[in-house]
Amino acid sequence: MSKAKDGDIVKVHYTGKLEDGAIFDSSKDREPLELTIGAGNVIPGFEKGVIGMERGGSKTITVPPEEAYGPVQEELIAKVKKENFPENITPVIGEQLQLKQQDGNIVNVIITEIEGDTVALDANHPLSGKTLIFDIELVEIQ
């Protein structure tokens, strides 16, 4: 039976979990994820985990932050005064906001801390700095 290798188009079902077991994503209730190994469309650690799998095979992989969404970058966390928020927005920890930069680009941020009149806005990917665990089933190699 052939094994998945760089350049192959594959379909996989997966469940992504954090180290505490919390599920952050799964394809189980939808179509399997189709990807070309080596194309860089998914995190590097996930691609590496699929390489060598056979059709119908399953395995669990652990992906460190360096092969996932990277470490938390402190320079992507900004502290702003509550008075700088529009009147219709009351900051709440965990709330996601979109900010328009001076160049017109949109940046997604999450409110991670509120201390006094200061609010921390984090533009890191929500899974940055986290070790990810994936249960993977290789459905098809095209």
The CATH class, in words, for 74-122 is mainly beta
Q: Which fold has domain 9-70+127-141?
A: Chitinase A; domain 3 (3.10.50)
- Helix (H/G/I), strand (E/B), else coil: 83: helix
For the chain, the first-to-last Cα distance in angstroms comes to: 13
Output the pLDDT for position 89.
Answer: 86
Grouped pLDDT means (10 residues each) for the chain, 142 residues: 93 98 96 96 96 97 98 95 89 92 92 95 96 98 93
């056979």: which residue's tokens?
54
- Listed by start position, the domains of the chain span 9-70+127-141, 74-122
Output the pLDDT for position 102.
Answer: 87
- Tokens, residue 18: 């954090």
Give residues with Cβ within 8 angstroms of 49, minimum separation 6: 59, 61, 63, 134, 136
Output the pLDDT for position 1.
Answer: 74
Output the pLDDT for position 101.
Answer: 85
Output the pLDDT for position 50.
Answer: 97
The conformational region for residue 35 under phi > 0 = left, psi -120 to 50 = alpha, else beta, is beta
